[in-house]
Structure 1
Amino acid sequence: MDGPEDSTGQPGPADRSHRSSVSSVGAREVQLKPKHQPYKLGRQWQELLLRFTDAPDDDVAMDEPSLQFRRNVFFPKRRELQIHDKEVLRLLYEEAKGNVLASRYPCDVEDCEALGALVCRVQLGPYQPGQPTACALREKLDSFLPAHLCKRGHGLFAALRGRGAKAGTGEQGLLNAYRRVQEAAGSDGEREASLSPHYRAYLLKCHELPFYGCAFFHGEIDKPAQGFLHRGGRKPVSVAISLDGVHVIDCREKHVLLGLRFQELSWDHTSPEEEESVLWLEFDGDNEGTPVNKLLKIYSKQAELMSSLIEYCIELSQAAEPAASQEAGPTSASGSSPPPHQRPQLRRQGSVVCSRIQHLSTIDYVEEGETIKRVKPKRTTSFFSRQLSLGQGSYTVVQPADSLEQG
């Protein structure tokens, strides 16, 4: 889907719903710009893997990239709702479904069932009472729900327990949601033939996820020290970056650890020689009710790429604001139209999309010379200068007190 062209005669970065992407299994993904040539990138693939991943040399030598057609990271979600081409909607639906089933998009059980029900409608047709049964759905449950919700026992006892057993909560919840899928108005034949409303309903549900449409990067963070010996270690995370902000996702537990809009953070990256590359995220927090600056350290060979993407997303967002205001046009106070209705954000208690800052090992700090020192919760000026321009709701810092009690 193409849009208006920029000054060079090429469509802008956010004017196409899809772009070519080069990826390999478990290693790395690259979204290509219009000027990129896939053939040349393929010839440099091993060099890119060595530079930006921790893959073993043997895996790098055997890895082969594949060219895919995927959603444009810079394409705004609001523009998706304006798409009417059935094939484009299908491509967006298939990619979103793949990310949900692979748990790349962490979802609460209720949302997984609602999304799985729409997949049932697309693949099995309109719901018919008594067909399929919950037990029939069990056979291909992993086509509708993420793998961690489809876990079944193995061995003799599991087989014996499965004979004649009632459907599990996953199958029954999916069946109940399938029963509630609404059909579009029209004749029976038209409703059965048209899948576009269900593609759109699936995408609309995914739009509630704050990390929908993000670019994903691999990284690790420090675990909070635990036990008498204060052992920590690291945990693998996915860093999801979009036009709206940054989310850090726990790969194993399938939930969000930290979600920040660009107005709420300051960032930078370091790539010292003979040391690991790091993306630093600074944000507001509290320690026992006292405001503090928190600093999260993300170890990743892709830190430079993440930092560049954050900066580029901010530039695009700032450039889009004047254009959006011009499209709205001047309005008088008396004749101004009400603001568009916004879907409520997910606010379930314990939702997987809510931040879990208590699970993070962060640094509460004060800048002193060129060093960062841990402090008992008092904040100082921001350690990083890279942040979104100040405006309403922008990231701000608490000024230092006259004396700081160091810990």
Structure 2
Amino acid sequence: MAGAGGDPIELVNLSLDFSRPSSQQASREGERSSLLEIHIYLPDLTFLALMIDQHTQATEIMDMIIATLGLNPTEARHVLSLWLVSADLQLQLKPNHCPTQLFGKWPVYLRKYTSVSPKTAAIQKPLVHLKRNVYISREEDLKVKDNEILELLFTEARCNIMDGTYPCDRDLLIKLAGLLCAVQYGPFNEEQHTIEFYKSVHSIFPLSVQSNTKLLDEYCQAVEFAHKKFDSLGKQPTGDTLNDESRLMTAYQTYLSSSHVLPYYGCVFFDGYIESTNKSFLHSSWLAVQIGTNTDGIYIISTEKEEPLLGILYEELTWEYVEMCTCSSAECHHNTSSTTGAGKLQPRMSRKSKHLKGDKIAAMPSLLLQYPASPDEQSEGVKFQVLRVYTQSARLIDAFIDNCSETMKEKCLCSPIPTPEVAVFQSATVASKDCVDTPKFPVSVPQQSADSTHTRESLERSIKSLRKPNKLLCQSFTKDGKCVSI
């Protein structure tokens, strides 16, 4: 790919490929005197100030962070990563990337991979964040032994829940709020921890709850019981009290394991649009969404209502990446597309041209997501559904999904007794392997055990519960590939 002025730019799997010329490498020591101060933001938005030069790589910065915070080097390099983050785009860096050399390219990445205006792209600047590595599985969070790293993971999860990035239902929010009270305000005290006390605390509920007086009253009444329940965190089975540090680490692990019930835990999110079923003279036919991807699947979340609309495990997913086109014809989009994924969509969608208010949205690159129909739909002859998601970040998401599907294929090949569904997934992935020209990143595959199998079953149930077909404008196909909805 080429950016402004023909400069070579390559973004693959959410990461930037930027190599330093050998001549610069040779003269690096001579330029060490020209040091720059860089701020590394932690999940709680505090930052570390480090001195680097323009050729300092991400792996060297990580070494500085490890030394400054006293982290376990092996765990830190595996679980954590450096990211470039701005208001409209976030990208995880590879070890050999030089952040200072990428800052100047940010407007190019914004224009290519987001929908912001050229004016916004020109002034928006990225910050360097230390965040969870998106390529590790959620099970690996709880294997962390380093207390400081565990606290960083806990803080990131808490912030994502508080700002609505991870939408939660009532019961989970109350459970997590009770745990936060136990962490921040100690064991439940009947005289101190009243409903009025919980109302005055601004760090245990998301803004969507805090801004709703009626909802806040209800939640604060319920959090009292949840606070009492977590008092047991400070007790050992023998009845002895844990020391403060052990109690805190237990609380962090409990918070993380509770957050893991959210299918979109650990996702990286991108802005996008889908066609809405709520079409009228007063309403737009487009619905702004967040597209989240992690090592388990892909998720569609309503931006306005912070409501999950769809979740698809990679085992169930077939997808197609569609290049950007300036015309509004869906058929034209398909004719210019490049196919990747667990299998080529057969048959391709065929939709009549129609006038769209959002011409700019319709011209964006897109992803066609194919997934099995619900049991009720299958009883009516519908085999699968296809949803089209429009996003400037389609190429990044496509590369990430492809990488994770390859990992799932390897995991399936290692399974002693593959199921029929797994066998289909394997063959479809192998068939499309040559369509991808991006390098593979190491995605961790957890070992199968009784606990992980149970976790997987819970995840599958949770993802299926996200699907809200009445809010998604999908195409329905029979097992013979016949489209039964337009």
Counterpart secondary structure, 1:358: helix
Gapped regions of structure 2 (runs ≥ 5): 1-58, 60-72, 327-362, 417-447
Shift of 1:68: 0.5
Q: 1:167 to 1:30 in 2, by over 3 A?
A: closer
Deviations, residues 280-305 of structure 1 (Å, cap 9, x unaligned): 11122227822143211111100111
Task: Point out the more displaced range, 43-52 or 278-287.
Answer: 278-287
- Secondary structure class of the residue paired with 2:233: coil
Distance 2:133 2:405 in 1: 16
Tell me which of 206, 209, 212 is aligned to 1:146: 206
- The corresponding residue for 2:112 is 51
Corresponding residue of 2:100: 39
**Distance (whole Å) between structure 1 residues aligned to residue 460 and residue 450 of structure 2:** 22
Match of 1:6 in 2: none
Aligned to 1:178: 227
Mapped to 2, the partners of 1:254 and 1:171 lie a distance apart of 21
SS state of the match for residue 382, structure 2? strand
Q: What is the CA–CA distance in structure 2 between the aligned matches of 1:355 and 1:21, rounded to whole Å?
A: 31
Supply the distance in 2 between the matched residues of 1:313 and 1:12 (Cα, whole angstroms): 23
Corresponding residue for 1:339? 450
Q: Does the CA contact (< 8 Å) of 1:256 and 1:352 recur in 2?
A: no
The aligned counterpart of 1:269 is 321
Deviation per CA, 1:353-405: give whole Å up to 9, x if none: 621122100123xxxxxxxxxxxxx52xxxxxxxxxxxxxxxxxx2358xx88
Q: Greater CA deviation, 90-99 or 285-294?
A: 285-294
Q: In structure 2, how many angstroms separate the alpha carbons of the residues matched to 1:178 and 1:47?
A: 48
Name the aligned partner's letter for residue 222 of structure 2.
G
Out of 354, 358, 363, the position equivalent to 2:470 is 358
- 1:216 shift after superposition: 1.1
Q: 2-side partners of 1:220 and 1:242: how far apart?
A: 19
**Is the CA contact (8 Å cut-off) linking 2:75 and 2:144 kept in structure 1?**
no
Deviation at residue 145 of structure 1 after TM alignment: 0.9
> RMSD of the alignment, in Å?
3.4
SS at match of 1:213: coil
Name 1:282's counterpart in structure 2: 370
Distance apart, 1:40 and its partner CA:
1.6
The 1:15–1:264 alpha-carbon spacing in structure 2 relative to 1, beyond 3 Å, is farther
Identity between Structure 1 and Structure 2 (%): 24
**Which residue of 1 is the match for residue 350 of structure 2?**
none
* Distance in 1 of aligned mates of 2:209 and 2:465: 17
Note if 1:306 corresponds to 2:362.
Answer: no
Q: Summarize the Cα distance change of 1:346–1:78 in structure 2 as closer, same or farther, 3 Å threshold.
A: closer
**CA-to-aligned-CA distance 1:311-337 (integer Å, 9 cap, x gap):** 011123334556787xxxxxxxxxxx9
TM-score after normalising by structure 1: 0.74
Answering whether residue 84 of structure 2 is matched by residue 22 of structure 1, we say yes
Deviates more, 1:291-300 or 1:199-208: 291-300
Structure 1 runs (4+) greater than 4 angstroms displaced: 11-15, 186-189, 229-232, 320-325, 346-349, 404-407
Deviation at 1:203, TM superposition (A): 0.4
1:225-264 residue pairs with structure 2 within 5 A?
Answer: 225-226=278-279, 233-264=285-316
- 2:324 touches 2:365 (CA, 8 Å); kept in 1? yes
More helix by share: 2
Aligned match of 2:144: 83
State the partner residue of 2:438: none
